Amino acid sequence: MRSYLLTIWNTLDPIYYNFTRLHHVADHDRNKTIFRVRLTKYRGSPVVLEDGTAIRKNDVLLKIHLHNVRMIRELRDIKSEVQRALLLYHMIRDDMQCLSSYLEKHPRRQEIKAVIGITMLNRGTQRLGFETFSIQNRSYRLFKQLTCLLINFIAGRPDRNPPIYLFMSVNRLLNHSERRLN
């Protein structure tokens, strides 16, 4: 059943991609990374990040989406949850430099305050440089939980954590990527 759902999802994914105004983040060889992104206006509760970046309603953020179909395909044959988590961590970590380059070249770079994501997979996110915040709006949290549960079911992951916001300020992302290059 999971493979049938994955096939349907794989068929519908290009439509979803087009309707959500997502853009692929590519590396130097023009290979697509695991990140797909779009600009968004923040609608949640105000947050202040560790570096002092204050994020308020209507601030422009770069919203990251993991390319779930690709991720599920690449992790499908790995049975160990630990190995799957490590591979996913390395995929994201390795693509962070491309995300940084994408942001540096973005025409609206000066308006973008931070990168935001929503996930139920929060282990290792701090090591990647993200800060986590709970989603305060109950309706939105429930909606995200239902969509994440579907993704987790198709992926065969038992993770039942509540969805959370991931934030990383633009300065932190750019500094983090510079350190990795040196």
Residue 161 DSSP symbol = P
Please choose, from the candidates 45, 51, 67, the residue with its C-alpha nearest in 3D space to the C-alpha of residue 170: 51
Burial of 87 from C-beta contacts in 10 A (0-12 / 13-18 / 19+): middle
Domain spans of the chain? 2-181
pTM: 0.80
Which of 11-20, 44-53, 61-70, 160-169 has the lowest average pLDDT? 11-20
Q: How far apart are CA 88 and CA 74, in angstroms?
A: 9
What is the SS3 assignment for 165? Answer: strand
- Mark residue 2 as left, alpha or beta (left: phi above 0; alpha: psi -120 to 50; beta: remaining): alpha
Interval 78-110: pLDDT, tens = 777 788 778 888 888 888 989 999 999 999 999
Q: How many helices (H) and strands (E) does the chain have?
A: 6, 8
Residues 104-124: pLDDT tens digits? 999 999 999 999 998 877 777
